[in-house]
Amino acid sequence: MKVKKKLCETIGPKLVEDGLFLVGLDLMGNKLIEVNVCSPGGFAEMNDERSDNLQEYVIDFAEQVNNARKS
């Protein structure tokens, strides 16, 4: 898990710089094989690990980004 977290911390800033705030990372073992921009998915699996619904935070964040771009 530490390697996967390090991978996200490494590529995350570049993705955000490119305006990609929500992507799915496909990993095979500890190797990145694909960055899913159009269909990130994975929410059901992530929600199984959490006590809340991640999609609510994602929608709130998307609304904040959209509103900031309008102003």
What are the pLDDT digits (tens) for 40-64?
Answer: 888 888 888 888 888 898 889 889 9
DSSP H or E run through 2? helix 2-17
- pTM across the whole model: 0.67
Handedness of CA 18, 16, 1, 7 (dihedral sign): positive
d(CA 64, CA 54): 16
Q: Read off φ and ψ for residue 14, nearest 5 degrees.
A: -70, -40
Q: Tell whether 23 and 35 lie within a shared domain.
A: yes
Q: Tell whether 34 and 52 lie within a shared domain.
A: no
Residue 13 is predicted with a pLDDT of 96
Q: Tell whether 62 and 49 lie within a shared domain.
A: yes
For residue 9, what are the domain limits?
1-40
Q: Tell whether 56 and 29 lie within a shared domain.
A: no
Residue 63 is predicted with a pLDDT of 92
User: Number of folded domains in the chain?
Assistant: 2
pLDDT range class, residue 23, cuts 50, 70, 90: very high
The residues near 32 (Cβ < 8 Å, ≥ 6 apart) are 7, 11, 25, 26
Find how far residue 19's CA is from the centre of its chain: 12
Residue 55 is predicted with a pLDDT of 87
